[in-house]
Copies of this chain bind each other. A is one copy, B any other.
């Protein structure tokens, strides 16, 4: 969407918020820094303009993001008839909310009530108003633009929430979505009082001891095969003995993908439900991991893809996936 179009939609959002009597903010399932930053910023904005509102998410925020202002205030269930305006944040499709089946009528007959703000290129524009800017590095970047457009004074709480989204969605300014606009936004947010040290301490520099022990086990399995593929493995036993879950592997695949001169990296793990999950990452421009993941019924992007199938892992000469019959 171009700038003029976006500003027209921003105007509509302002009008809708002004009219709103009771507003629901929805975060996507398995919430990350960008969605929580977006919701917490909007939660604080609505609080400051004295609008009755609530934030909802099917899942709890992860521990390392509990420092965010609204993180402990999420509701998990609701009656959407109580709300005359629903704003979904960072949700690429209705199923990402986790509420699409339970509250199917919200996403069908009542979709006009929904404002959908997101930066995913694949966004399905399921709302009545859809502000989808895939050139934005994060949804919090769009919220920042919106608040500046609305001439809303950005205080330290909002600034910290928005910067959290930028930090986490750009991987501390290391992912390829980091551009000049991103740095300009970060510079502004610091000058508005964003608390960088808190974001870094909790969102990045916080690794529980059992997560590190799990990572140690996986790194001990690390092999590079003849085809130049780096592979690490986490079995159910590894999770059980370290008291961890598959979510504690987050970030480890990027470490495997940092090995120079490899084609791509694979991380295989058994989860609690009897599935084998695979994550693929590459630094190469000439490999399509989406194709490779599709062999196992998965999918994704060229440089990052994955799959999940029922089964378990058996140790052979190397690790392979054994499908459950």
User: What is A's interface to B at a CB cutoff of 8 Å?
Assistant: 167, 172-174, 176, 178-184, 186-188, 190-191, 196-197, 200-201, 204-209, 212-213, 215-220, 222, 224, 230, 254-260, 262, 283
Contact = CB atoms under 8 A, between A and B. Distances in A.
**Total copies of the chain:** 2
Contacts of A197: 176
A190 B179 contact: yes
Given A207-B258, A219-B213, A254-B205, A173 B173 contact: yes
Among A176, A217, A222, A256, find the residue whose CB has the most chain B CB atoms closer than 10 A. Answer: A222
A173 B201 contact: no
Contact of A217 (B182, B216, B258): B216
A227 to B, nearest CB: 14
A220 B184 CA distance: 41
Contacts of A219: 212-213, 215-217, 219
B184 A187 contact: yes
Among A174, A179, A181, A262, find the residue whose CB has the most chain B CB atoms closer than 10 A. Answer: A174
Given A180-B187, A215-B219, A219-B215, A208 B173 contact: no
A260 B216 CA distance: 18
Nearest to A194: B180
Contact of A259 (B167, B209, B230): B209
Contacts of A201: 283
Contacts of A259: 207-209, 212
Contacts of A255: 207, 212
Which 6 residue pairs spanning A and B have beta carbons closest together? A216-B219, A183-B187, A216-B220, A207-B258, A180-B190, A205-B258
A262 B208 CA distance: 10
A191 B255 CA distance: 29
B209 A230 contact: yes
Contacts of A183: 183-184, 186-187, 190
A258 B251 CA distance: 14
Given A190-B183, A219-B212, A205 B173 contact: no
Contacts of A262: 209
A213 B173 CA distance: 26
A123 to B, nearest CB: 25
A319 to B, nearest CB: 15
Contacts of A212: 219, 222, 255-256, 259
A232 B201 CA distance: 21
